[in-house]
Structure 1
Amino acid sequence: MKWSFKIAKVAGTEVRIHLTFFILLLLVAMQGMSGGQGTAGAVDALLFVSAAFLCVLLHEFGHVFAARGYGIHTPDITLLPIGGVARLERMPRKPSHEFVVAICGPLVNVAIAAAIKLALGLQMVMNPEYQFEQPGHFWEKLMLWNLIMVAFNMIPAFPMDGGRVLRAFLAMFTDYGRATRWAATLGQGIALTVALWMLFSREFHPVLLLISFFIFMAAGQEAAAVTQEEATRGLRVRDAMLTDFRTLPQDATLGDAVVLLLAGSQQDFPMLDERGNILGLVTRNRLVSALSENGPMHPAVHVLESCPDSLSPIISLGEGLERLRSITCPAMPVLDPVSRKLVGLLTAENVGEVLMVRAALRGRKET
């Protein structure tokens, strides 16, 4: 994740902190000082927030170790002001596996809260004068924090664990895609209900409104991601790549590129060296911009857009599409895995056409 840096590595998983997390610490320290206790109040507030986010980190590692039991690696965990994000390579598709991975995070918080409760109970036995649940007590607040985490995370809406638990339950009775859509719709309904209640109630809570918006968007993104995964299942990059394309030599001019642009529907042109190795892409946007500034005789190599990545034709189309979306180039070169020569171009437009054709054929079979 951008704007984050590594602070540790535990069992092969990097622990990262987002820079915005320090804004939270600053606000917490300021609030602690404003309570009339000065530096001591700030230190107490920072200690509690640190302990609370340690619980968040342990929650995320609950997911990590549960996923590892099913052979799923987690490259990193990022701590944000709103919580933690464990970036699993994938979510298990078997409902029982997803249920275990999703529920293990909240179970960690239940265990922490139970341990604190047990420790406080022992403290009362050993010290009868100890006042349980006294206002502002560190451990009582930390126990309450963990219970709140459990309640919040078990809301049946993506991206919370409750949404994944609900999907796992629904997927036991229907297919994964439909289960995701049902769970996402319920989550969006909850978010919309809370948002409307906030807007029309006398007490306006902007944080809850923001959380509702976040849940609504995240649920939609989860449904869209699974829909894409369902649509591309079984397809390889070679099934969707553009194979009938034109290329430019290294000594081509902008005028040469314009001729190819006007001659067909291709918009981005790979430039190859004398050995047939790709140097980059001459994109339509860069071509038009440079043409107005430099004229048709300007060398096209000067407006070349480098391609930071390339694809193999045999990898899954889903992976190829994700990698295409992660770069700024409008097309990604597809290279033969042995010769490393250019054999195709993957574009979002071509992928869309393949998926439309596939959907049409599937609809014809169903009728």
Structure 2
Amino acid sequence: MKWSWKIGEFAGIGVFVHATFPLLLAFVALPAILNDGDIVGAIESILFILVLFVCVVLHEYGHALTARRYGIQTQDITLLPIGGVARLERMPEKPSQEFFVAIAGPMVNVVIAAILFVVMILAGVAVPSLGLGFGNESFIEQLFTINVMLVLFNLIPAFPMDGGRVLRALLASRIDYAKATTYAARIGQAIAVVFAIAGFFVSPLLILTAVFIFFGAQGETQMAQQRSKLRGFTVGHAMRTNIRALAPYEWLSSAVDSIMSTAQQDFPIVENGRVVGILTRDALLKGIQQFGAYVPISQVMRRDVTTVEANQPLGAAAETMQANQMMSVPVTNNGTLVGILTFDSIREFLTLQKILKPRTQQAGETPML
């Protein structure tokens, strides 16, 4: 994610903090400093937020490590002021897998809350009132309360919360995935409407939550529709094969010549028969502005390139592109470059499929491009 800094790595998954995260620390610390001049209180508030976000990181690792069991890698985990985001390379294909990946995060908070509960019992501390006396609760009581609240909030059966994915997984075990998503989204949006109405009487925070849920459900529905359209096709159906690859030692001017002489915008970078990077049009233009046209492509190319296999499901490849924020990815066959997949080529493929499908169905044929 852009504007993020890496703060650590565990199990091969990098943890990043977004540039806006310090705003949360300032938000919780400044009132104590400005109103009472309480520096110690401000420091305690910051420490509590940091410990809380350790719980959030563990929550996201619950998702990531469970997804790994099903062969799904996680790009990274990013901490935002509103919580954490684990970027999976794709969503699980089977409902049972999605169920366990979704439920794993809240279950981590259940375990944390259970451990804190046992510690409180052993220490003779009364069980807190789940936020009804936040100001009077000790550090450990507040942490217990927050973890319980994280479980309850995340299990609301509405996208983009974990509960929405759990609900979709349960529905998808009995009905079509796209229909399951639609039903789960409608339930979530109904909950959003209730939250919005309640927000006028209880707290404006509920209105913000309602907006978050409503548009999250809308986005999830669109993604499910896209996956439904791409089901049954592989990357090989939509990739472009008449492409030009460049070498890392070539000048940027070579890439400029290639752009002018072809319709290609992004170029796989190949060395010794292996894809080692990708040069996008944006990176090329920025590189020329910064260094000039006569520097090696290796100086500006993207090295952390993700490749997809030609026989890979097209829907999974599209999700990989979205997760990596890439408009195009090199396509390989057993490690050898055979083409490039772009969102434009996917859209063009779907458009042609829509046009050809009625004709081929009339002729009794299967549409194939």
Partner of 1:264: none
Alpha-carbon deviation of 1:153?
Answer: 0.2
1:266-281 alignment runs, 5 A limit: 269-270=263-264
For 2:308 and 2:107, locate their aligned partners in 1 and report how far apart those are by CA, in whole Å. 40
**Structure 1: how far apart are the matches of 2:172 and 2:141?**
38
CA contact (8 A) 1:270 1:281 kept: no
CA contact (8 A) 1:120 1:132 kept: yes
Structure 1 segments of 4+ aligned residues over 4 angstroms from their partners: 130-134, 241-245, 306-316, 319-329, 332-346, 358-365
> What TM-score results when the alignment is normalised by the length of structure 2?
0.70
Give the match's secondary structure for 1:7: strand
Structure 1 length normalisation: TM-score? Answer: 0.70
Q: Secondary structure at the match of 1:85?
A: strand
**Tell me, which stretches of 5 or more residues in structure 2 are unaligned?**
244-255, 266-278, 282-299, 365-369
**Residue 314 (structure 2) aligned to one of 317, 335, 347:** 317
Residue 216 of structure 2 corresponds to: 218
1:84-120 Cα shifts (integer Å, max 9, x gaps): 1111222322222222221121111111111111111
Pairing of 1:272-291 with structure 2 (within 5 A)? none
Residue in structure 2 matched with residue 233 of structure 1 by the alignment: 231
Q: 1:347 to 1:33 in 2, by over 3 A?
A: same
Give how far 1:147 is off.
0.6
Distance 1:232 1:118, change over 3 A: same
2: distance between equivalents of 1:63 and 1:11?
13
Match of 2:290 in 1: none
Deviation of the 1:313 alpha carbon: 5.9
Q: Which residue of 2 aligns with 1:293?
A: none
Alignment of 1:170-209 (within 5 A): 170-198=171-199, 201-203=200-202, 205=204, 207-209=205-207
Inter-CA distance 173–313: structure 2 relative to 1 (3 Å threshold): closer
State the secondary structure of the residue aligned to 1:52: helix
**RMSD of aligned alpha carbons:** 4.0
Sort the Cα spacing of 1:337 and 1:166 in 2 relative to 1 into closer, same or farther, 3 A: closer
For residues 216-257 of structure 1, give each alpha carbon's deviation from its aligned partner in whole angstroms, at most 9, with x where no partner exists. 112121121122112112223443467899xxxx989x9xx9
Match of 1:97 in 2: 97
Aligned partner of residue 84 in structure 2, secondary structure: strand
Aligned to 2:83: 83
Which residue number in structure 1 is paired with residue 155 of structure 2? Answer: 154
Whether the 8 Å contact between 1:32 and 1:44 is mirrored in structure 2 is no
Cα 1:26–1:99 change in 2 (3 A) is same
Query: Are residues 1:55 and 2:55 paired?
Result: yes
TM-superposed CA distance for 1:159, in Å, is: 1.3
Map 1:1-367 → 2, pairs under 5 A: 1-34=1-34, 36=36, 38-124=38-124, 133=128, 135-198=136-199, 201-203=200-202, 205=204, 207-240=205-238, 269-270=263-264, 316-318=313-315, 321=318, 326=325, 346-347=344-345, 349-357=347-355, 360=358
Q: Please list the CA deviations of residues 95-154 of structure 1 after superposition, one character each: whole Å capped at 9, or x if unmatched.
A: 222222211211111111111111111111xxxxx6664813111111100010011000
- How far off is 1:26 after superposition? 1.2
- Tell me which amino acid in the other structure corresponds to 2:148: L
> Partners in 2 of 1:64 and 1:8 — Cα distance?
15
Corresponding residue for residue 276 of structure 1: none
Change (3 A) 1:178 1:361: farther
Secondary structure of 2:89's counterpart equals coil
Cα gap change, 1:54/1:322 in structure 2, threshold over 3 Å: closer, same or farther?
A: closer
8 Å Cα contact 2:106-2:150 kept in structure 1:
yes
* Partners of 1:55 and 1:251 in 2: CA distance: 51
TM-superposed CA distance for 1:29, in Å, is 1.2
Deviation of residue 355 (structure 1)?
4.2
State the aligned residue count: 312
SS at match of 1:41: helix
CA distance in 2, matches of 1:49, 1:251: 52
Q: 1:18 to 1:156 in 2, by over 3 A?
A: same
Amino acid at match of 1:162: G
* Alpha-carbon distance in structure 1 between the residues aligned to 2:309 and 2:68: 28
Tell me, yes or no, if the aligned pair for 1:177 and 1:226 is still in contact at 8 Å: yes
Residues 36-60 of structure 1: CA deviation (Å, up to 9, x unaligned): 2610010110111111111111111
Q: Is the 8 A contact 1:64 1:86 kept in 2?
A: yes
| More deviation, 218-227/9-18 | 218-227
- Secondary structure, in 3 states, of the residue corresponding to 1:30? helix
How many percent of aligned residue pairs carry the same amino acid?
A: 40
Choose 149-158 or 130-139, whichever is displaced more: 130-139
Residue by residue over 1:15-37, the C-alpha shift from the partner in whole angstroms, topping out at 9 and shown as x without a partner, is: 11111111111111112324526
Aligned to 1:303: none
CA distance in 2, matches of 1:344, 1:52: 41
Is the CA contact (8 Å cut-off) linking 1:336 and 1:343 kept in structure 2? no
